[in-house]
């Protein structure tokens, strides 16, 4: 396995500045980060350290002020809005803190939505969305609307929606922020299972308990990476081959 | 995003906010209601005028030659017009004969002159103000008059001026109590005529009875009563099909100009009319209504569009987060643009459909309480839907554009 194939995300001196009135906010001040295929990374850091900003850039919801972002070997910087939308549709699966399900649509319709934008035909959409919901153990809740589901169930619908297009990355920003600890554990177990099945997972969190589940922890402080460590006991033997990827940057 | 999906979303929005949706599309509903009701009534009026009214006055596929126009006109004629009318030569039996001998367009020629007169039956029963019609034998054929009993008079009787008469249903009822009129004698202006036929009931036209009539040969003794001697009111020419009306009219015009020895630039000294042409005055009225219509409809639709635009802007702002979510899932700008356009088009299209139903209902109501039939023009239904959807699309452009331009991160952050 060569590094270029194993690597999903590579950022080079990534910067993001915001103008807030007269003040220039440097949310990211030069982030170099490489994430390989099937890694499970937790991004931590205090509030305002730039976690969400980094997530938005990785998720192609936003473009950097400076620096480069290469997703699956393709530089994202020069892409226009429609191309970014296409990448979000195909390569990224978002899970949000507040679930962000469409309230008037059923679980099935919510999960079908990315496939609608992918141009998948109705029958196939149905089938794939149903399967995705079955994978998160909601096969019996297809016709339920979000307000008829518990918080944990809603977040699992969101996970199914994120995964239905088979994206390269599952991106979750504080996915357990609105859940109680038991449900949080349930979602994190689900993430662990997805990771074991080969999914690349990136979770933003400020809770150490949640970060525990990841095999690698990246800590941001003031828009820079302050710490990047592998967690003991979370990694298998094959992961050794990927370690150099991190340090080649 | 496919159309069906967008329309489904649109209907779920309508269901979610029924009352708001109704007020949103009220302008469209009112505008299209106007449109459909007015067009339906104009069409109905048109049908009434052309099929019923004009057909009865002029007959179908018939060109009528008169000294002066008989059609309704706006206001009294000017002094000059009156003088011009008086200068025109009268039409005579000889003119009719001369024309008949020369017309090459296939058809039948008939003459008719009318005056109101007195008709007396047996036992001194007297009717005043009966329409006395001195007509050729071909007149019955021309007007497609059916007889209830007896027969019309024949050509040879008409030519010789035999005093026989066909009487209207009302005359038969009043003078003979409806039975046994055939073979009896009536006195028209004091002159005895033998009844040889009774007309089928004709009904009324604008409240005038068409059955209070007697028809007798033009050359019979009524000749000098219905008109100055040998003068005719109208010479009609009926062609077998509508496509021959124009050729017949052209031919009659040429012949009459020749007959009256008119120089090339001189105006006609006679009037040629058809049922179609005589409806000029009605055409003017209906055109005026049709000219005013776009204004009425336009105002309602513009008001409707402004309302729709504002409500759609509210909707976009309420659903900012949804737009963010959709964008995060891969919706492109044009997907969002289309979604909102289709939503407002669907919303307003529903208004168009309601307007069509209301318009037809309104027209049906009017036709129920008046003789005007409601004739729904298929094109007006199409136009109603087109305008309904069109207004929604036009009104939706700006809100949809705003929605499409939203920054996904900003949109997702919104509460
Ligand atoms: N759209 C924005 N406009 C201005 N400042 C912003 C914007 N988004 C984020 N910031 C600022 O950038 C910094 C990093 O924010 P963020 O990435 O949301 O941090 P975190 O997710 O770690 O709490 C903060 O100071 C925040 O106020
Ligand atoms: Mg954050």
Distance A50 CA to ligand 1 centre (A): 6
Q: Is the CB of A116 less than 8 angstroms away from the CB of B16?
A: no
Determine the residue of chain A that is closest to B3 in CA distance. A116
Quick check: A114 and B333 CB within 8 A?
no
Q: Chain-wide mean pLDDT for chain A? A: 89
Q: Which atom of ligand 1 is nearest to the CA of A20?
A: 4
A204-222 pLDDT, tens digit per residue, is: 998 898 999 999 999 999 9
Rg (chain A; Cα; Å): 18
Which of A85, A100, A104 is nearest residue B330 as measured by Cβ atoms?
A85
Strands (E), B154-226: 164-167, 185-188, 191-199, 204-205, 208-209, 213-217
Interface residues of chain A, partner chain B, Cβ below 8 Å: 56, 59, 61-62, 81-82, 85-86, 88-90, 94, 96, 100-102, 104-105, 113-114, 116-118, 161, 165
Q: How many whole angstroms from A28 Cα to the centroid of ligand 1?
A: 9
- What's the A212 CA to ligand 1 centre distance in angstroms? 25
pLDDT at B109 over 90: yes
Task: Find, in chain B, the residue whose alpha carbon is nearest to that of A165.
Answer: B329
Q: For residue B206, with 0-12 CB atoms within 10 Å meaning exposed, 13-18 middle and 19 or more buried, which class applies? A: exposed
* Token pair belonging to B58: 């002029």
Q: Where are the domains positioned within chain B?
A: 3-53+280-413, 89-268
Ligand 1: lining residues by beta carbon, under 6 Å: A 18, 20, 25, 27, 45, 47-53
Say what the pLDDT of residue A5 is.
Answer: 54
Probe site for chain A from B4, B319, B328 (most A CB atoms < 10 A):
B328
| Full-model pTM | 0.69
B90: number of CA atoms within 13 Å, CB side? 10
3-state DSSP helix/strand/coil % of chain B, to nearest 5: 60, 15, 25
ipTM score of the complex? 0.90
For residue B241, the SS3 value is coil
Lowest-pLDDT choice from B97-101, B325-329, B367-371 = B367-371
B18-47 vs B3-16: helix crossing angle, rounded to 10 = 110
The number of angstroms, rounded, from the C-alpha of A57 to the middle of its chain's C-alpha atoms is: 11
A237 falls in which pLDDT band (50, 70, 90)?
very low
A241 pLDDT tier (thresholds 50, 70, 90): very low
Shortest distance between the Cα of A196 and any Cα of chain B, in A, equals 24
Most confident of A83-97, B25-39, B177-191: A83-97
pLDDT class for B227, splitting at 50, 70, 90?
A: confident
With bands split at pLDDT 50, 70 and 90, how would you rate the model's confidence at A10? very high
What percent of chain B lies above the pLDDT cut of 70? 93
Which residues have C-beta within 8 Å of that of residue B377, sequence separation ≥ 6? B39, B40, B43
Domain A38-64+78-230 class, CATH top level:
alpha beta
Residue among A15, A16, A18 to mutate when testing ligand 1 (max atoms within 8 A of CB): A18
Residues in A touching B325 (Cβ below 8 Å):
100-102
| Alpha-carbon dihedral sign for residues A75, A215, A129, B325 | negative
């Amino acid at each position: 396995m060569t590094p270029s194939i194993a690597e999903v995300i590579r950022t080079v001196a990534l910067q993001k500045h915001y103008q807030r009135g007269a003040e220039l906010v440097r949310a990211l001040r030069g982030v170099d980060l490489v994430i390989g295929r099937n890694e499970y990374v937790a991004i931590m850091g205090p509030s305002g350290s730039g976690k969400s900003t980094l997530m938005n850039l990785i998720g192609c919801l936003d473009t950097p002020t400076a620096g480069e972002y290469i997703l699956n070997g393709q530089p994202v910087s020069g892409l226009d809005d429609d191309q970014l939308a296409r990448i979000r549709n195909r390569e990224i699966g978002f899970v949000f803190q507040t679930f962000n399900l469409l309230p008037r649509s059923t679980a099935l319709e919510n999960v079908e939505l990315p496939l609608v934008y992918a141009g998948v035909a109705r029958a196939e959409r149905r089938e794939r969305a149903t399967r995705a919901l079955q994978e998160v153990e909601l096969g019996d809740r297809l016709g339920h609307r979000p307000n008829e589901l518990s918080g944990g169930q809603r977040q699992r619908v969101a996970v199914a929606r994120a995964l239905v297009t088979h994206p390269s990355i599952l991106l979750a920003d504080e996915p357990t922020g609105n859940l109680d600890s038991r449900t949080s554990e349930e979602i994190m177990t689900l993430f662990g299972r997805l990771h074991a099945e080969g999914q690349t997972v990136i979770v933003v969190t400020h809770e150490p308990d949640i970060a525990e589940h990841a095999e690698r922890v990246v800590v941001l402080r003031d828009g820079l990476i302050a710490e990047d460590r592998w967690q003991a006991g979370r990694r298998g033997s094959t992961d050794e081959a990927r370690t150099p990827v991190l340090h080649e940057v | 995003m496919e159309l069906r999906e967008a329309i489904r979303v649109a209907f779920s929005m309508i269901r979610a906010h029924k009352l708001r949706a109704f007020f949103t599309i009220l302008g469209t509903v009112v505008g299209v209601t106007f449109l459909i009701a007015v067009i339906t009534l104009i069409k109905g009026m048109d049908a009434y005028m052309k099929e019923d009214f004009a057909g009865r006055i002029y007959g179908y596929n018939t060109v009528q030659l008169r000294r002066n126009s008989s059609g309704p006109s706006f206001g009294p004629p000017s002094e000059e017009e009156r003088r011009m009318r008086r200068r025109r030569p009268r039409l005579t039996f000889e003119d009719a004969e001369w024309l008949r001998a020369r017309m090459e367009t296939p058809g039948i020629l008939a003459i008719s002159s009318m005056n109101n007169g007195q008709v007396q039956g047996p036992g001194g029963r007297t009717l005043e103000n009966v329409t006395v019609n001195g007509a050729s034998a071909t007149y019955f054929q021309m007007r497609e008059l059916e007889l209830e009993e007896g027969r019309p008079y024949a050509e040879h009787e008409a030519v010789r001026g035999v005093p026989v008469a066909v009487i209207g249903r009302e005359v038969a009822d009043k003078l003979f109590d409806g039975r046994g009129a055939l073979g009896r004698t009536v006195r028209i202006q004091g002159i005895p005529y033998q009844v040889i036929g009774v007309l089928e009931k004709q009904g009324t036209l604008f409240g005038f009875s068409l059955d209070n009539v007697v028809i007798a040969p033009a050359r019979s003794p009524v000749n000098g009563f219905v008109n100055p001697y040998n003068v005719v009111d109208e010479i009609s020419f009926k062609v077998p099909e509508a496509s021959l009306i124009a050729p017949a009219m052209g031919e009659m015009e040429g012949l009459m100009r020749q007959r009256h020895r008119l120089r090339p630039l001189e105006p006609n000294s006679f009037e040629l009319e058809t049922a179609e042409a005589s409806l000029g005055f009605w055409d003017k009225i209906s055109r005026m209504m049709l000219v005013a219509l776009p204004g009425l409809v336009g105002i309602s639709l513009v008001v409707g569009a402004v309302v729709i635009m504002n409500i759609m802007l509210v909707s976009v702002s309420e659903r900012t987060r949804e737009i963010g979510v959709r964008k995060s899932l891969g919706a492109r700008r044009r997907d969002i643009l289309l979604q909102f356009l289709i939503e407002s088009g669907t919303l307003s299209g529903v208004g168009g459909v309601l307007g069509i139903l209301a318009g037809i209902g309104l027209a049906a109501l009017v036709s129920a309480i008046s003789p005007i039939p409601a004739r729904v023009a298929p094109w007006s239904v199409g136009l109603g839907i087109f305008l309904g959807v069109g207004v929604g699309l036009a009104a939706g452009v700006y809100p949809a554009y705003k929605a499409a331009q939203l920054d996904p991160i900003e949109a997702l952050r919104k509460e």
